[in-house]
Amino acid sequence: METVKDILAQRNEIMKKSLGGIDYNAFEKGGLAFDYEALMKFASYPIEEVLRIQLETKVGNTPLYELKNLTNLVRKISSPGKGARILVKDEAMNASGSFKDRRAALSLFQAKKEGYRGVVAATSGNYGAAVASQALQRGLKCIIAQEVFDSRGIGQPEILEKGRKCEALGAEVWQLTVGPELFFWSLLLLKETGYFNASLYTPYGIKGIEALGYEVGIEVKARYGREPSAVLITHAGGGNVTGTARGLLESGCTNTRIIGVSVDLRGLHMASDNDFNRKSFTTGHTGFGVPFAVNPDRVDVPRNAARSLRYLDRYLLVTQGEVFYATELLTRTEGIERGPAGNTSLAAAIPLAREMPEDEILVIQETEYTGAGKHPTAQLTFSRKMGVEVIRGKPGDNIPGKRIVIPEHLSQLSYEEHSLDKLKQSYLEHTLKKNEVKKLSLSELKFLQEELKDNNNLVIDYLNSKGVMYG
């Protein structure tokens, strides 16, 4: 019988067979650099074709709403002339109820096209339901490896609901405990079944999100005669930011600011058995957003096509309580119940809109379906059971894993600016150490500058400070 070590040693071979023959070695340029755009071109579908493929399976062409009631409330508590329009792209209208359908649609189309009998995906979130939905429509088998339980066998209500939804959509669900076994079992399943790897982090997954960014850009320009001032994107593994930004650029929105937003869960370790159930958000938080920005290739493919630091202009943090408040606010003002992950961006958009002129446009890039396990009531009840205090008050009193503070008034919503420069420096530190770099070639230097959207010599200044040669 093969051991864990045996399976991990076959990682590259398993990946190549399960990804339609993508040879990641072909994109390596030597040292720490690789040809990112060549990797992305592997999914060589023009945007019009991606849109057509998605519509075949009830994905895309989702409504773009102006949140008029909410915008009016924001203007009432803003300075005269302030209070930007807030729009939302309602991705809950996709087949399985989230923007993750965009990622799954193209991957499953590719799997079917190449003759795979089924697909495997490793996820604890909405992506599993998206893959299951698309597999069902494409006539493919589907296995979801889901990180669910702590060592006591306790699972969060949101994750349990997503597992139920996967099963309702015909998937075979393997429910696992928190930790490294998720990656091992997904590799083993890929090897034993010969199925397609419907990873979140392939070019297909990112290309699917480009369609979302493209739709936002085209629709806003058609309706308002101008591009959005900013698009707020809930940031976790980086695919949402990357794909949306690339799609906006393809739509001609070259001046739109890309703003990532995460729930502040600093201090909680996502792979910790103790911390796993002391958070109320399974995605869209700093436990994913920061590590994936600093080390994007910590995924189930050799090179991650999601690379957020190439595109982010700002990165904002909000508290769990503020997101719960924004979720309820959206329901009560606009008559649509969504959440929770998409409302992470909404929580930041409210204080950001207060700072901007009324004629500017902010777009919340996505929503998601809600349901029994995902509803704030279920989440907060579970938090109390896990020993987390839930109170009303000032969001600044929030302590991740110990206290959730629900604001008492709209004016209390705020955000924290998370330094992109510090994230980029952390990226450099990690990359140089991992590759034991003493000197960089010019191609490696260029790669780092592109990788970090470096317009102010940050990379060169860092290299100089560490005595690393280049040229």
Of the residues 187, 203, 219, which one is the last residue of a structural domain?
Answer: 203
Bridge partners of residue 172, in order along the sequence: 143
Distance of CA 422 to the CA centre of its chain: 20
- Measured CA angle at 235 (ends 232, 240), to 5 deg: 80
What's residue 393's pLDDT? 97
Bridge partners of residue 118, in order along the sequence: 141
What's residue 371's pLDDT? 83
Q: Classify each residue of 366-393 as buried b or exposed e, where b means 16 or more C-beta atoms within 10 Å of its C-beta.
A: bbbbbbebbbbebbbebbeebebebeee
Residue 52 is assigned to a structural domain of this protein? no
Rounded to whole angstroms, what are the CA distances from 377 to 160, 323, 325, 353? 15, 13, 12, 28
Q: Is residue 314 within 8 Å of residue 417, measured between CB atoms?
A: yes
What's residue 78's pLDDT? 98
State the first-to-last Cα distance of the chain, in angstroms, to the nearest integer.
49
What's residue 203's pLDDT? 96
Sorted by sequence, the CB contacts under 8 Å of residue 339 that are 6+ apart come out as: 323, 326, 327, 330, 367, 368, 370, 374, 376
Give yes or no: residues 302 and 395 share one domain. Answer: yes
What's residue 298's pLDDT? 86
Residue 55 is assigned to a structural domain of this protein? no
Handedness of CA 229, 38, 198, 190 (dihedral sign): negative
What's residue 62's pLDDT? 98
What's residue 1's pLDDT? 61
Give yes or no: residues 82 and 192 share one domain. Answer: no
- Measured CA angle at 320 (ends 317, 322), to 5 deg: 80
Residue 219 is assigned to a structural domain of this protein? yes
Regions in the chain scoring below 70 on pLDDT: 1
pTM of the model as a whole: 0.96
- Measured CA angle at 199 (ends 20, 186), to 5 deg: 95
CATH of the domain at 20: 3.40.50.1100
Give yes or no: residues 196 and 326 share one domain. Answer: no
Give yes or no: residues 9 and 28 share one domain. Answer: yes
Here the tokens at position 330 are 């959206």
What's residue 233's pLDDT? 97
DSSP 8-class letter at 335: S
Here the tokens at position 144 are 């979801």
**Which of 186, 173, 177 has the alpha carbon at shortest distance from 4?**
186
Residue 381 is assigned to a structural domain of this protein? yes
Give yes or no: residues 388 and 452 share one domain. Answer: no
Q: How far is 436 from 74, CA to CA, in rounded Å? A: 50
Write out the residue range of the structural domain in which residue 19 sits: 4-47+98-203
Handedness of CA 212, 214, 220, 226 (dihedral sign): positive
Here the tokens at position 37 are 């755009």
What's residue 301's pLDDT? 87
